[in-house]
Amino acid sequence: MTNKPRIAFLGIGLMGLPMARHLVAAGYPVTAWNRTRAKAEALGGAAVADTPQAAAQGAEVIITMLENGPIVEKVLFGEAGVRHGISPDALVIDMSSIRPSEARDHAARLVEVGAAYLDAPVSGGTVGAEAASLAIMCGGDEAAFVRAEPVLREMGNPVHVGPVGSGQVAKLANQMIVGITIGAVAEALALAARFGADPARVREALRGGFAESRVLDLHGQRMVERDFETKGRTATQIKDLENALATAEGLSFTSPLLTQATTLFQGLAEHEGDPDHSALILEIERLNAG
């Protein structure tokens, strides 16, 4: 017998699968659900449910790792959703990346049935998910965080940053920094190339200086090598930047760099589809063609 809480894990995708595997390996009893059942069945050692409602029944902790806010809402509150099978004392941990306003709405609706809520989006990508080294940004009350922390530590490094919605704000801050920095690196390397300098050597010269960053390291290398195989989707970057813009507008907060970065990524999507977000250099080059 185990004293560990029963977990329902909803969303067994590129991120959700390795995250849920860590929970199974740690001895948690896990029930998995995914819209495509075969993906849930790939999680060895877990039970598989046909609906979010069925997965939630008897679960003490319910984790969602889904694509966006509207999908999270449907899984939580739609027909055969979590709301219809949840126990009054269950804890819902939403690890999806959604708007802070959506997180607050979901929390309020779950509190009505006696459930606790934590928004806990992540950063680190599939590499971090597989290594259980994700940065996990948590919003909610202290009691919910204390309850969730042992579970979250199996997947990464959780930090409690404030009340409900604060985790999502932290994730948006992360995506703002990533998106704006990709733009800065792309623009700098494209300018160097226009002058006639070797972008690869310019990047090498900047490494270790004040401009050093993981974006210059990893994404700068992809730009130099013209390797835009998707590792971080442009569509996901746009979704997060647009969510950050909506949040800023709701706070009457002016974000000039965020606005410009969003416009550039939208242009990239219009002209190139959905490549890796490091392909933003292609949009910079297009704007400077001729």
Let me know if 290 is exposed, middle or buried by CB neighbors in 10 A (0-12, 13-18, 19+): exposed
**What b/e string do you get for 20-47 counting C-beta neighbours within 10 Å, with b at 16 or more?**
bbbbbeeebbbbbbbeeeebbebbeebe
Cβ atoms of 148 and 120 within 8 Å: the answer is yes
Give dist(CA 34, CA 123) in Å, integer. 21
Looking at residue 83, the DSSP 8-state letter turns out to be G
Query: What's the number of CA atoms in the CB half-sphere (13 Å) around residue 276?
Result: 20
**Kind plus residue range of the DSSP H or E element containing 8:** strand 7-10
84 closest CA partner among 73, 92, 76, 95:
76
Q: Which residues belong to the active site?
A: 171
For CA atoms 71, 77, 79, 80, give the dihedral sign: positive
Q: Is residue 169 helix, strand or coil? A: helix
**What b/e string do you get for 104-137 counting C-beta neighbours within 10 Å, with b at 16 or more?**
bbbbeebeeeebbbbbbbbbbeeebbbebebbbb
